Structure formats: C-alpha cells, structure tokens
Amino acid sequence: MSDEKGLLHKAYTIQSTDQARDFYQDWAETYDDEITSHGYLTPHRCAEALAQFAPDKSAPLLDFGCGTGLSALALHAAGFTTIDGSDLSPEMLKRAAKRQGLYRNLIETDVNNPFDFPVGAYQAIAAIGVIASSHAPATTIDAALAALPADGLFVFSLNDHTLQDPEFEARVAENLDTGMARLLFKEHGDHLPGYDLGSVVYVMQKA
C-alpha cells in the first residue's frame, strides 16, 4: 500500500547523491513517524542477525547511513554498546544527535571516501536501508569489507527495489567468489510491510 501524502515514495525516484542529500534534509523531520507507521522492520532484522555472530558486542561498530538513529536503536536493543554513526545528511545527523547516549560519535560521510578510518577501527559495520540505487552505491559492499579487520562483520540490507538491479548482488557474489568474505547469513523478509516491500539481510565476514 503506498501513501502518497508522505515522502517515502519519493525515496525511490532519487537520481543522484546530491538529490539524496537534499531529499533527506527535507525528510529528516518526519522520517521516523512515516517509516515507523509502515512497520519498518529491517533495523531489527539486521541487528538480530549481527548479534548471532558478534563475539563482543562492546567492540566498536559503525552504523553507516545512520539517518536519525532508528538503526542504532535496534542495534542497541540487540546488545551493541559502542556505536558510531555516519551519514551523508547533516539534518539526519542532527536528529540522531538528539538520541542522547545512543552514539559515541556522529560523522558526516565524505561520499568519495566513506570509510575514512584505519582498518580495524571497527569490528563491525552496519549499512541498514542505505545501500540502494542513488543512495550508497553497490561498491559500498567492497569498501566496507576492505575497511574491516580479518573476521570483522558486515551486516547490510538490500530492499526489493534495489535487488532488481543485478549490480548489487553481483558485488556480494564477487566478494564470496574471490574469497574476500564468507556469507554467514542471508534472509529475505519484511522491510516496510505497510508499504508491501521486502528486503534481504546479509551478514558477511571478512576472510
């Protein structure tokens, strides 16, 4: 079911990173209400999947494309305690900063160098609802794995719209085929049930 009164439907029409930045500036104020009204489940699914494999939930975790912090709320509920957030949109980051005590640090993403930290700074990276057409590109999968230490974990989602473009799953397949990473978890389920949209949640482990 689509609700043309909100902004969600426009998220699937963005054509560029600049448009995405402008779009999320506008959506920041109403994002939480609109997306939760559609039963947004992917953060919970990602957090539970990651928690199954994480040996130390107090180790630093990067919530990439953190938005207003709904993803970190789910990660925290699953037991993760040291969470940094990064995002393209300053306005979404301002909202995330209002959730006091949830994030250790919040960082504005440099889209040309989104994982600008030493390898191993994070034991795990989450990209929840962020890798998608005209959002973070498919190559984010390679870049996130490159930024992790050996055995580091990468949890991310690809929604049904995004999965129509074979480029995204091709990045998953290539990283598995070349031995760069192992696939620990892959499951299709509800993304926004009120919007009739699903997603696949993946947990990959750097080899």
Ligand X SMILES: C[S@@+](CC[C@H](N)C(=O)[O-])C[C@H]1O[C@@H](n2cnc3c(N)ncnc32)[C@H](O)[C@@H]1O
Chain residues binding ligand X by CB under 6 A are 17, 20, 24, 43, 65-67, 70-71, 87-89, 92, 109, 111, 114, 128-130, 135-136
Nearer to ligand X, 32 or 176 (CB): 32
Rounded to the nearest angstrom, the gap between the alpha carbon of residue 10 and the centroid of all alpha carbons in its chain is: 19
In the complex, least distance from residue 177 CB atom to ligand X, rounded to whole angstroms: 25
In the complex, least distance from residue 89 CB atom to ligand X, rounded to whole angstroms: 4
The rounded distance, in Å, linking the Cα atoms of 84 and 92 is 14
The rounded distance, in Å, linking the Cα atoms of 187 and 190 is 10
In the complex, least distance from residue 137 CB atom to ligand X, rounded to whole angstroms: 7
* Cβ atoms within 10 Å, residue 199: 26
In the complex, least distance from residue 114 CB atom to ligand X, rounded to whole angstroms: 6
Site of tokens 């029409």:
13
Nearest to 98 by CA among 55, 123, 66: 66
Structure tokens at 185: 């978890």
Nearer to ligand X, 10 or 182 (CB): 10
In the complex, least distance from residue 17 CB atom to ligand X, rounded to whole angstroms: 6
How do strand 124-127 and strand 153-159 relate by DSSP bridges?
parallel
Q: Name residue 140's amino acid.
A: T
Nearer to ligand X, 106 or 128 (CB): 128
The rounded distance, in Å, linking the Cα atoms of 6 and 33 is 10
Residue-level length of the chain: 207
Nearer to ligand X, 6 or 43 (CB): 43
Nearer to ligand X, 172 or 192 (CB): 192
